[in-house]
Chain A
Amino acid sequence: MLNIIVCIKQVPDTNEVKLDPVTGTLIREGVPSIINPDDKAGLEAALNLKDKHGAKVTVISMGPQQADLALREALAMGADEAILVTDRAFGGADTWATSSTLAAAIKKIDYDLIITGRQAIDGDTAQVGPQIAEHLGLANISYAEDIQVEGDTVVVHRQYEDRYHIIKAKMPCLITALTEMNKPRYMTPGGIFDAYREKKVTIWNRPDLDVLDSNIGLKGSPTRVFKSFTKAVKGKGTVVALDTQESVDFLIEKLQEKFIL
């Protein structure tokens, strides 16, 4: 049977994120957490493959204890197993250390296919998927719009800016999913019941993973946040009333100033 691992991240719903007008920091209180949309599309793709071919779908998330909720939601949608990778030692990780930690966790499980979202809506980096693949020595196929399995091969529609590729790759491999790929199913009442009564979320802490201290958490992160700040508020622009030709000249001048032309 096909073993599929789906990596998910719990993120604040950025549509709801507001900035504190005084301190300029994010107000996280009362902001609902969701499964990152690209990851949820990846989960739905895995569940579709399960419906079609039969598969065991394992969801895995690295994060604080609260990420349990995201994993339960995945179980209620139809995932078979859930693993929460959580420890203070993993905290403060950049994408390098995050991918190294997740790769160490994935090494403990049997898999044919790993699906991650393309990127998370809080960080937008799109790095963790390809980096997990690199740590595991697997091929990665980014930006999937469609995933099919034919025997030991995946057939993926990969989206690029002005084109898409139809890619074939032997499993095991890693695919990053786009939100546009599908419309994730809802949890069912029975699924929710199972997620809390029948299924469990396995917890893996630092000692459960075979990975160097120098490759996890803040210490294992090559990058450092030097400072963060809110974007400067745009001042009011220039409004002019000129004749037609002068208007055109004005716009051309401004577009050249801004290097658009």
Chain B
Amino acid sequence: MSIHDYKGVFVFVQQVDNKVTSVSYELISKGKELAKELNTEVTAVLLGHKVEALCTKLAKYGADKIVVVDDPALEVYMTEPYTHAVSEVIKVHKPEIVLFGATAIGRDLAPRVSARLHTGLTADCTKLEIDPETKNLMMTRPAFGGNIMATILCPEHRPQMATVRPGVMQRVEIEGDAKADVEQFKLNDIAAHMNVEIAEIIKKTAGKMDIMDAKVLVSGGRGMGSPENFKLLEDLAAAFGGTISSSRACVDAGWVEKDRQVGQTGKTVRPNLYIACGISGAIQHLAGMEESEIIIAINKDPGAPIFEVADYGIVGDATKILPLLTEQIKKILDNK
């Protein structure tokens, strides 16, 4: 069969504890956009146990169809049973594109699926486009720690597969009634594919999140005035599900632990959002955070160097702005 017989955009839906990971919604919305250009549909592939209730929301973000593989052996993510199920769905439905979130699970699952199906996989994409002439998927990703961007094609193999960074694509809700056709995909004996045993699952406490893993960092400097005011940073970080970090000055002053320090003698971070509060922005600090996707700076001094790298700068008092900002953000997120 020719590669032109492959049709449709498929999105692997990641659920953990029967909660859909947000990147999956982002990919369904993006998949819908790509599908439109290809005159086809976007299908969500949902694996798990007793997950049918999650379908409504998948439709809300644009899924035209949903393929559900429901099995007790899929309740907790395990490489081989998931690889088996996803590969079988792909073999039967023959999509031209399959997208995964570039999460710990997606980056474990997608390589195995690509090796099994003998097709290409592009990791950690930040941009997906359809080549108007060839209709091939153009997948753009950073390499060399973000110094270089590369656009990758998978011209002769199908499906074209990519993992996509969380937080890069926009999720778009469908207006009005959204409905998707749900197909129960039957597979026998998935449990036979369980080749490892999960002896224990241990959840980490949110407070100990490594600043290098955080998608949102709310960072404080001397301009916060006192260690007590770091509570304001924590509140905002908690609203986003992120964590706090700091400049060197506050670590030296004993306001925060050393593991929170961003900069040349601390850690280099690259979150989706970095909010610098009361940080003037010494060159050593900038070296540790200037690669962040979006930088917001709040500082009383209009001449502070942090404003040179900020996407959005506010000349003002962070201790006054933060409580209001947190409150409003909470309101917006609660309504989602």
Question: A interface vs B, CB < 8 Å?
Answer: 14, 17, 19, 26, 94-96, 99, 121-131, 133-135, 139-143, 155, 159-170, 173, 221-231, 234, 236-245, 247-248, 250-252, 254-256, 258-261
CA distance A19 to B123 in the complex (A): 22
CA distance A245 to B321 in the complex (A): 8
Interface membership of B204, Cβ < 8 A: yes
Do A238 and B199 touch (CB < 8 A)? Answer: no
Q: A139-B80, A230-B147 are in contact. Are A168 and B199 (CB under 8 A)?
A: yes
Closest Cβ neighbor of B316 among chain A residues: A247
Closest Cβ neighbor of B136 among chain A residues: A226
CA distance A181 to B203 in the complex (A): 18
Tell me which residues across on chain B come within 8 A of A99, comparing CB atoms: 115
Closest Cβ neighbor of B138 among chain A residues: A226
Do A127 and B200 touch (CB < 8 A)? Answer: no
Do B321 and A130 touch (CB < 8 A)? Answer: no
> In the complex, which of the residues B170, B196, B202, B315 contacts A164, with contact meaning CB atoms closer than 8 Å?
B202
Closest Cβ neighbor of A100 among chain B residues: B115
Tell me which residues across on chain A come within 8 A of B171, comparing CB atoms: 259
Interface membership of B92, Cβ < 8 A: no
Chosen A-B contacts, 21 in total, with CB atoms closer than 8 Å, are A19-B147, A26-B144, A96-B118, A124-B142, A125-B123, A125-B124, A126-B107, A128-B111, A134-B112, A165-B200, A167-B196, A222-B118, A226-B152, A228-B151, A234-B309, A239-B302, A243-B316, A247-B314, A248-B321, A259-B170, A261-B329
Do B333 and A240 touch (CB < 8 A)? Answer: no
Do A224 and B314 touch (CB < 8 A)? Answer: no
User: Looking at the complex, which of B62-70, B154-162, B182-190, B248-256 is the stretch in contact with chain A?
Assistant: B154-162
Interface membership of B145, Cβ < 8 A: yes
CA distance A221 to B153 in the complex (A): 11
Q: A140-B79, A166-B200, A223-B122 are in contact. Are A159 and B104 (CB under 8 A)?
A: yes
Q: How far is the CB of B240 from chain A (nearest CB, A)?
A: 8
Tell me which residues across on chain B come within 8 A of A223, comparing CB atoms: 120-122, 152-154
CA distance A230 to B144 in the complex (A): 11
Give the tally of cross-chain contacts (CB within 8 A). 233
Do A224 and B153 touch (CB < 8 A)? Answer: yes
CA distance A143 to B121 in the complex (A): 19
Do A230 and B149 touch (CB < 8 A)? Answer: yes
Do A237 and B313 touch (CB < 8 A)? Answer: yes
Q: How far is the CB of B267 from chain A (nearest CB, A)?
A: 12
Binary contact readout B297-322 vs A (1 if CB under 8 angstroms, 0 otherwise): 01000100001111111111100110
Do A166 and B316 touch (CB < 8 A)? Answer: no
Do A130 and B324 touch (CB < 8 A)? Answer: no
Q: Give the interface size bracket for B toward A.
A: 35 or more
Do A140 and B112 touch (CB < 8 A)? Answer: yes
CA distance A17 to B110 in the complex (A): 29
Tell me which residues across on chain A come within 8 A of B198, comparing CB atoms: 165-167
Interface membership of B18, Cβ < 8 A: no
Closest Cβ neighbor of A129 among chain B residues: B111
Question: B interface vs A, CB < 8 Å?
Answer: 79-80, 83, 103-105, 107-108, 110-112, 114-116, 118-124, 138, 142-157, 167, 170-171, 195-204, 206, 213, 216, 240, 272-273, 294-296, 298, 302, 307-317, 320-321, 324-325, 328-329, 332-333
Among B121, B157, B196, B316, max chain A CB count under 10 A is at: B196
Closest Cβ neighbor of A18 among chain B residues: B147
Do A161 and B104 touch (CB < 8 A)? Answer: yes
Do A251 and B314 touch (CB < 8 A)? Answer: yes
CA distance A164 to B294 in the complex (A): 29
Tell me which residues across on chain B come within 8 A of A140, comparing CB atoms: 79, 108, 112
Tell me which residues across on chain A come within 8 A of B302, comparing CB atoms: 239, 241
Q: How far is the CB of A10 from chain B (nearest CB, A)?
A: 15
Do B294 and A258 touch (CB < 8 A)? Answer: yes
Do A244 and B154 touch (CB < 8 A)? Answer: no
Do B196 and A250 touch (CB < 8 A)? Answer: no
Do B150 and A240 touch (CB < 8 A)? Answer: no
Closest Cβ neighbor of B105 among chain A residues: A160
Q: A239-B313, A241-B315, A247-B321 are in contact. Are A162 and B206 (CB under 8 A)?
A: yes
Q: A222-B157, A230-B147, A260-B294 are in contact. Are A143 and B197 (CB under 8 A)?
A: no
Do B316 and A244 touch (CB < 8 A)? Answer: yes
Q: A127-B114, A168-B197 are in contact. Are A238 and B147 (CB under 8 A)?
A: no
Do B108 and A142 touch (CB < 8 A)? Answer: yes
Q: A125-B123, A223-B122, A245-B324 are in contact. Are A229 and B148 (CB under 8 A)?
A: yes
Give 7 nearest A-B pairs by CB, closest first. A222-B120, A239-B313, A134-B115, A223-B120, A127-B111, A241-B315, A125-B123
Q: How far is the CB of A203 from chain B (nearest CB, A)?
A: 26
Do B204 and A162 touch (CB < 8 A)? Answer: yes
